Structure 1
Amino acid sequence: MISVRALRTLCLALLLAVFAGASIAQVSDPDRDIYAGWQELADETEKALDEPTEPNEVLSEYRKQIAAFRETFAEGRDKNAVRIRTLESQLEALGPKPEEGEEPKDIADLRQTLNAQLDELRVPQVVAEEAFNRANGLISEIDRVVRERQASQLLARGPSPLNPTHWTEAFREFKTAIVADFQNLREAAQAPQTNDVLHDSWPLLLVLSVVGLLLIVMGAHWSERLGNYLRRLGGSRHGVWSFVVSLARIILPYFGVVLICVGLLLTGLGERGAALISAIPRWSFIYLFFRWLGLQVTAEGTFDKLEFRKPYHRTETRLMVGLLGVMIVAQDAISMFQQAVPLSDATRAIIGFPPILISALVLLRIQRISIIQRQLVAEEDEDPANTSGSSRLLAGLRRVITLMALTAPVLAVFGYFNAAEAIIYPAILTLALISAFAILQRFFGNVYGWLSGKGEAAQDSLFTVLVGFGLSLVALPILALIWGARAVDLVEVWERFVAGFTVGGVQISPVSFLTFVVIFAVGYSLTKLVQGALRTNLLPKTSIDAGGQNAIVSFAGYLGVFLAALIAITGAGFDLSSLAIVAGALSVGIGFGLQTIVSNFVSGIILLIERPISKGDWIEVGGLMGYVRDISVRSTRIETFDRTDVIVPNSDLISGTVTNYTRGNTVGRVIVPVGVAYGTDTRRVEKILQQIANAHPMVLANPAPAVVFQGFGADSLDFEIRAILRDVNWVLSVKSDMNHEIAKRFTEEEIEIPFAQRDVWLRNPEVLNPPKPDPA
């Protein structure tokens, strides 16, 4: 019976038969060979996918080859793109073919030639597009099959390690495999070729072994001497060099192990021996890393909330973290042994259960110690309720790890050994990774605190937060690999991320986005430089007033930002023409929702162009009086005389009534009212006031000040001094000076300045003296 895949392949072949004969024949010979190889590979892959017993390794190899072809086809889709656009623009220039009548022969021949060239150039693109889609589909299908197999394997149930019936057979099988391995190693060591290799390379082996042993034995001492030398450069109290020394203490012994293993590989101990020796550096690195991690986690000041009140808890935590590293090494050794010598499921479960159980108990003990220490710290804390978001996140992570530590042994006991391993060991590595990155973040904070002089305060700086964010991004793919993701899956995600996404027909990718940001940042910086040059160098040398200079600088800024955005969009390759319909649909809603903002924006443009008010003007609007300090496109900042800033929307300045006391110039008028008693010689008062006005240095002589006899008031004869000042900003000071002078001169001339007097008439005054009662 024909499978669905075979039917689909047959139909696709029939549909593309004509196309393949006509189009592939038009591609070049090298491309034809590539497509022929691709067709063969695609057919083999589809057959392999139909076989349920095909190993995952074979499917992964097919996937790798298909991915290489897919990259080639992706490049082929863009082939001749520039030339195709040129031909399309030429055809657009010719216009549509007339529906009635005949087209001129020259234009018809040109149109036919351009269409033929366009069809010829489009053929490789169409072929590449079809091949790319097929490759993409095959890759997706391979990934689906592999994931389904991994899921079924993860949920597969095997024998329980606590079943005593399997113990004897498992012990015998494991013993036989160990003996066989040792026998192979002994035979390889006693082989004549091994002796020949030792005879030829013993000097190099001796040197590598001696240097390796020195690094292992003396690594800690040399690291301390390196730290003492580095501390002379400063920064010792910030913990920078202590961290470097701690890294050196694991790096030097690790290289020592590597050198010894390289020397042992020269002896030629056979395939099994080479595999074992090659694994030793990996195991030593895991153990040294966990040992370093335990020392760093329990060091003073590494974590603010992890303060060991009991010294033995610190030592116990270090031992527990190191034991976790030993369990990771044990699990890796068992997996390698399983690959070399296939074991039964029962034997695999029995020898793999102790590391799972020990790892779970160690995790629970570490979590218990952590809880005890935090309880002790909370008892001493003045505000135990004051917990940060990161503390709550870590508390949630601890609960999840505890749940995993409890679940993994239970799953192993019930036969779900693969699921237990997939939970407990990734949990350990996740904790290790988070702790290591937290230590790195603190180290970078210490370096920044040392270089900037901020000290411990640098741990709460923006730099440290950004470092933590960057480390978090780095940790994401590592965590994905820890929890079972394949490297090809991450590569696929990265390729899709680099390819970008489409929004309204606009293709946005990280490269185009970064290009936009860089070009806009450069344009914005140049705009600021031009504004600074205009404000400080060019405009002050012109006769333009301060308000005009501010308007020019503002226009230069708006124009620069607009041009920077336009050039950045063009340089990034964004085609915004496809967004025109969406923008038109949104413009109505935006117009209603942002009409006030748009009104203020337009009013700001009008203020900068017409300049009814300028920066530094003394204005009065809406009962507010003060100096204009800044005019932006949305609002204007006015500084009142009591030194407070008032933000006034630009639309109020355009549509409302505004009094500008210094528009164009600072000349203004002052009015000083004064009253004298009835009976005073009015001409004499007028003369005195005229002298006072003319004597003030701020009063202009032309036009001359005037003294006006306003009329007969209720209590006095009312006069006013009306004078034009050269600077109206001094109006209050001038008014005060004139009042002082008036009081002085009127006293000298014995002219009375009356105050209000009123006569009170009582309608019935007899109520004030009531008649006394008759004593009789």
Structure 2
Amino acid sequence: MLIVALLANLALPALAQDTNQIVAVGKSLEAASRDLQAVDQAFDQPTEEAERRDLRDRASTVRQSVNDAVALLEPQLAAVDARLGQLGTPTPGVTEAPDIRAQRGLLAQQRSTIDSAIKRGRLIGVEAGQLVDEINQSQAQAFGERMSAAVASPLSPGFWTATLKAAPRDIRRVMRVTAAGVTQVRQALRDDHGWQAGAGLVVALLLLGPLRLMLRRLGRERLIAHAPASRVRRSGLALWLVLVGMLLPGFAAVALMQGLRWAGMLTPAWNLVAVCFVRATFVFGLVSALGGALLLRRQQSWRLLPIGDATADALRPWTWAAAGLGFVGVMLIGFNEAVGASYAARAVADGLLAILHCVLIAGILLTIGRLRARSAGGEEEAPPASHTGLALLSLACWLLTCVSLGALLLGYVNLSLFVSRMVVWVAVVAGSLYLLLVAADDILTSVFSSESRLGRAATGGLGLRGSAVDQLGVVLSALVRLLLVALGVSMMVSPFGSNVGNLFDQATMVAQGVTIGQITISPGAILRSLLVLAAGLFVVRGVQRWLTTRYLPTTELDDGARNSISMVARYTGVILAALWALASLGIGVERIALLLSALSVGIGFGLQAITQNFVSGLILLAERPVKIGDLVRIGDQEGDVKKISVRATEIQIADRSTLIVPNSELITKTIRNMTLANPIGRIQLLFSVQLDADTDRVRAILKDMFREAEHVLDDPEPKIFLDSIIDGRINFNCFAYVASPRDAYPTRSEMLFQLLRRMPAAGIDLGTAHQQIELLGLPDSVRGAKDTPGGLPG
């Protein structure tokens, strides 16, 4: 009891501190609840897209703050429970000390307060999440309404009548905003604030001119002098050019606009235009620098894209046009917002932008088509890639351009502009993603390389193998590139701040489908399943290609082990992709197992041989009694194993034809693997010399032959045996060893050539043992005549 009392007294300061923290958290929850109510009330009113984005951000902030508060309170609740556990439960009939009873009461009260705060925080978090989902749904609905909104067709008189009718009011608004801006500038000049705007202009010119050129030259010199002589120079230079080309003009615009603000020359309307000008300058810098970095005219050796100089020269002007169009588009939309242009004027501006985007897309596609036509005629030395995927992509762009123009002619101006800008936006994101993927792969594989400074330090200081450092670089490159791809896809589906992902989610719920039992099958579900299967197979193919071309070559595994890992990964991935596709269709794992059990009977009877070969293939890939590169003999056929699949094994025999052997043959029958476990080869020489020949001289010649032979091993050393003396000749039997059974036959042939040259040169007669032929079933006169000098009588 004394110990418990001491613990309770020691815990009092901690309880006081925790109480203050709980009070602070409670106040933060109260503030979060008020903010959430304010967002909810504001969302009840009609809101624009920008206001909805702001409300969604505020609700997300509330949800994050209450989640942080709950995460802060949960350890305190656990600590209070632990203290109550130390005090234990009151013993019936025993009167506790007053301080213990007070401590227990204080802890119980504190626990109740913390638990209530946690529950309240979780409730606020749920309400905030629901409000975020509701705002997202509202944004998706508003986006769909905006895309489906139609005006009069530009081909109809009504479209231009409304524009002309609203033109006088729009002109007055522009004049009023312009006059206010001029007045503001004059007032700033009278107040001697013009030097601030001049300073901003000077800084902007310095950023655009000398500093930009200096940074471009400095980056090139540093890459040439310090970067390793590999692809990292090209990708690093391209990345540096994009960063300099985007940030320096953007910062110049910031400096210029900030100087105007400090000088007091911007009215609220022109301040909005200034914000759009900064944004448009960053867009212009990104698109122009990205095009320049990827094309790099007159520098083919530094170019990332596999195209020639003529192609780069032809495409470069279109990148400037795309950058200029992006600048004009952002500025035009911002100017309309600043002056409060009428709906008719905005429709004309959007239609004009849509036409310009379509002209840009069509011009690029026509240029690529003309270049491909020249390459087909042999006029282009390095044509653009003619892959089938690029051809399909070009066709898709043409279709989208036609859709955009058709929507514009029908009066769906917003949809037309969205589709055309979507094509350009996806192209810009794809180009940026390509540059980032190449740069990430080159930089990471160069930094984490066994030949780099970091790799040598790791191998020397940590004792790591060089291949382990190379593998780390390849794996890190793959992970970073996956993150970049995910980021790029999210950027592609969410252009211009529109939550297109939610629109796609809503589109998948349109068709309810047909319910059979507990499974709902709908066109959307089938399409989703096919897309999932295609995506899964694409990922499996990419992973297998990455394993075979990037990761496995950095390991110390042989070709057979690499093939086994690649094949197992492939079929495992195919199975997982199929299960994923079935799950997306609404078929659970238990139903898949039931289906497989029902099919097992048919598989057992009708596909017995295929199943046997499949299982045998898995055994071969796992146990590896035969692997790729082995020299095997099956019956009277001998050859090299070239490929092992789950059904059959391909063996290339001596005449370069392919012997296809079912895997069950390799498992159930006897085969000879002449290269398993790295065996050595043996050659044998059989010959005879005359009885009066110098055998020591023969042995010396043989030793010289074996010692001078390129492939004959010293260990085990060659063996020379005098086998027998028969019929007046001495028979020799010699053995030598080579590194591989593949070297045995050619080495033996070379030894025989040497034997035929050296023995006669040394005056030694070569031959074979005397053979006696006895003819059976002939008359004695004929049989005796065979030993006469004349042979058989005629």
Using structure 1 for the length normalisation, give the TM-score.
0.50
Partner of 2:433: 437
Distance in structure 2 (CA, Å) of the matches to 1:324 and 1:374 = 22
Say whether 1:148 aligns with 2:144.
no
Say whether 1:134 aligns with 2:165.
no
Contact 2:397 2:423 in 1 (8 A): yes
Partner of 2:340: 342
Contact 2:375 2:383 in 1 (8 A): no
Partner of 1:186: 182
Q: CA deviation at 1:363?
A: 0.7
Which digits, 9 at most, give the CA deviation of each residue in 1:179-203, with x for residues without a partner? Answer: 1221111221233xx2454x2x444
Q: CA deviation at 1:36?
A: 4.9
- From the superposition, tell whether residues 299 and 159 of structure 1 become closer, same or farther in structure 2 (CA, over 3 Å): same
Q: CA deviation at 1:283?
A: 2.6
Partner of 2:274: 277
- From the superposition, tell whether residues 467 and 45 of structure 1 become closer, same or farther in structure 2 (CA, over 3 Å): closer
Partner of 1:18: none
Specify the SS of the correspondent of 2:153.
Answer: coil
Which amino acid in structure 2 is aligned with residue 475 of structure 1?
G
Correspondences of 1:581-592 after superposition (within 5 Å):
none
Distance in structure 1 (CA, Å) of the matches to 2:444 and 2:91 = 76
Contact 1:305 1:377 in 2 (8 A): no
Partner of 2:552: none
Contact 2:279 2:330 in 1 (8 A): no
Partner of 1:645: 676
Contact 1:441 1:468 in 2 (8 A): yes
Q: CA deviation at 1:239?
A: 4.5
The equivalent position to 1:479 in structure 2, one of 485, 489, 492, is 492
- From the superposition, tell whether residues 87 and 161 of structure 1 become closer, same or farther in structure 2 (CA, over 3 Å): same
Contact 2:351 2:417 in 1 (8 A): no
- From the superposition, tell whether residues 284 and 117 of structure 1 become closer, same or farther in structure 2 (CA, over 3 Å): closer
Which amino acid in structure 2 is aligned with residue 335 of structure 1?
I
* 480-489 or 285-294: bigger deviation: 480-489
Distance in structure 2 (CA, Å) of the matches to 1:119 and 1:153 = 52
Which amino acid in structure 1 is aligned with residue 308 of structure 2?
E
Contact 1:173 1:347 in 2 (8 A): no
Partner of 1:413: 409
Which amino acid in structure 1 is aligned with residue 402 of structure 2?
L
Contact 1:170 1:350 in 2 (8 A): no
The equivalent position to 2:61 in structure 1, one of 57, 65, 68, is 68
The equivalent position to 1:209 in structure 2, one of 201, 206, 217, is 201
Specify the SS of the correspondent of 2:201.
Answer: helix
Contact 1:264 1:277 in 2 (8 A): no
Correspondences of 1:472-621 after superposition (within 5 Å):
472-482=485-495, 484-486=497-499
Q: CA deviation at 1:768?
A: 11
Partner of 2:462: none
- From the superposition, tell whether residues 642 and 355 of structure 1 become closer, same or farther in structure 2 (CA, over 3 Å): closer
Distance in structure 2 (CA, Å) of the matches to 1:48 and 1:645 = 77
Which amino acid in structure 2 is aligned with residue 369 of structure 1?
T
Partner of 1:264: 260
Specify the SS of the correspondent of 1:139.
Answer: helix
- From the superposition, tell whether residues 176 and 205 of structure 1 become closer, same or farther in structure 2 (CA, over 3 Å): closer
Distance in structure 2 (CA, Å) of the matches to 1:53 and 1:323 = 39
Q: CA deviation at 1:69?
A: 3.5
Distance in structure 2 (CA, Å) of the matches to 1:267 and 1:37 = 39
Distance in structure 1 (CA, Å) of the matches to 2:23 and 2:216 = 66
Distance in structure 1 (CA, Å) of the matches to 2:490 and 2:347 = 30
Distance in structure 2 (CA, Å) of the matches to 1:424 and 1:213 = 34
Partner of 1:714: none
Q: CA deviation at 1:317?
A: 3.0
Q: CA deviation at 1:430?
A: 1.6
Contact 1:66 1:139 in 2 (8 A): yes
Q: Greater CA radius of gyration, 1 or 2?
A: 1
- From the superposition, tell whether residues 106 and 149 of structure 1 become closer, same or farther in structure 2 (CA, over 3 Å): farther
Contact 1:213 1:256 in 2 (8 A): yes
Say whether 1:317 aligns with 2:318.
no
Q: CA deviation at 1:276?
A: 2.8
Contact 1:298 1:314 in 2 (8 A): yes
Distance in structure 1 (CA, Å) of the matches to 2:428 and 2:79 = 54
Distance in structure 1 (CA, Å) of the matches to 2:30 and 2:243 = 54
- From the superposition, tell whether residues 393 and 89 of structure 1 become closer, same or farther in structure 2 (CA, over 3 Å): farther
Q: CA deviation at 1:741?
A: 8.6
Contact 1:208 1:259 in 2 (8 A): yes
Identify unmatched segments of 5+ residues in structure 1.
1-26, 98-102, 491-581, 604-639, 648-731, 749-753, 770-776
Contact 1:444 1:467 in 2 (8 A): yes
Say whether 1:332 aligns with 2:330.
yes
Distance in structure 2 (CA, Å) of the matches to 1:52 and 1:130 = 24
Q: CA deviation at 1:275?
A: 2.9
Q: CA deviation at 1:268?
A: 0.8
Distance in structure 2 (CA, Å) of the matches to 1:247 and 1:130 = 45
Which digits, 9 at most, give the CA deviation of each residue in 1:621-648, with x for residues without a partner? Answer: xxxxxxxxxxxxxxxxxxx99962169x
Which amino acid in structure 2 is aligned with residue 274 of structure 1?
N
Q: CA deviation at 1:342?
A: 2.5
Partner of 1:8: none
Q: CA deviation at 1:64?
A: 3.7
Which digits, 9 at most, give the CA deviation of each residue in 1:144-165, with x for residues without a partner? Answer: 2232222212211123344442
- From the superposition, tell whether residues 180 and 72 of structure 1 become closer, same or farther in structure 2 (CA, over 3 Å): closer
Distance in structure 2 (CA, Å) of the matches to 1:273 and 1:60 = 23
Partner of 1:688: none
Q: CA deviation at 1:322?
A: 1.7
Say whether 1:158 aligns with 2:151.
yes
Which amino acid in structure 1 is aligned with residue 286 of structure 2?
F
Distance in structure 1 (CA, Å) of the matches to 2:219 and 2:66 = 55
Contact 1:77 1:125 in 2 (8 A): yes
Partner of 2:526: none
Q: CA deviation at 1:226?
A: 3.7
Correspondences of 1:377-396 after superposition (within 5 Å):
377-378=375-376, 380=378, 391-396=387-392
Partner of 2:362: 364
Contact 2:294 2:305 in 1 (8 A): no
Say whether 1:172 aligns with 2:168.
yes
Question: What is the aligned residue count?
Answer: 495
Partner of 2:532: none
Which amino acid in structure 1 is aligned with residue 407 of structure 2?
L
Contact 1:306 1:370 in 2 (8 A): no
Q: CA deviation at 1:411?
A: 1.4
- From the superposition, tell whether residues 372 and 307 of structure 1 become closer, same or farther in structure 2 (CA, over 3 Å): farther
Q: CA deviation at 1:433?
A: 2.1
Contact 2:307 2:383 in 1 (8 A): no
Q: CA deviation at 1:740?
A: 4.3
Distance in structure 2 (CA, Å) of the matches to 1:317 and 1:733 = 69
Contact 1:157 1:415 in 2 (8 A): yes
- From the superposition, tell whether residues 299 and 743 of structure 1 become closer, same or farther in structure 2 (CA, over 3 Å): same
Distance in structure 2 (CA, Å) of the matches to 1:449 and 1:169 = 63
Distance in structure 2 (CA, Å) of the matches to 1:152 and 1:138 = 21
- From the superposition, tell whether residues 106 and 764 of structure 1 become closer, same or farther in structure 2 (CA, over 3 Å): farther
Contact 2:155 2:409 in 1 (8 A): yes
Distance in structure 2 (CA, Å) of the matches to 1:227 and 1:33 = 52
Say whether 1:425 aligns with 2:421.
yes
Q: CA deviation at 1:760?
A: 9.6
Contact 1:215 1:255 in 2 (8 A): yes
Q: CA deviation at 1:464?
A: 7.5
Which amino acid in structure 2 is aligned with residue 209 of structure 1?
L
- Identity fraction in percent: 14
Specify the SS of the correspondent of 2:264.
Answer: coil
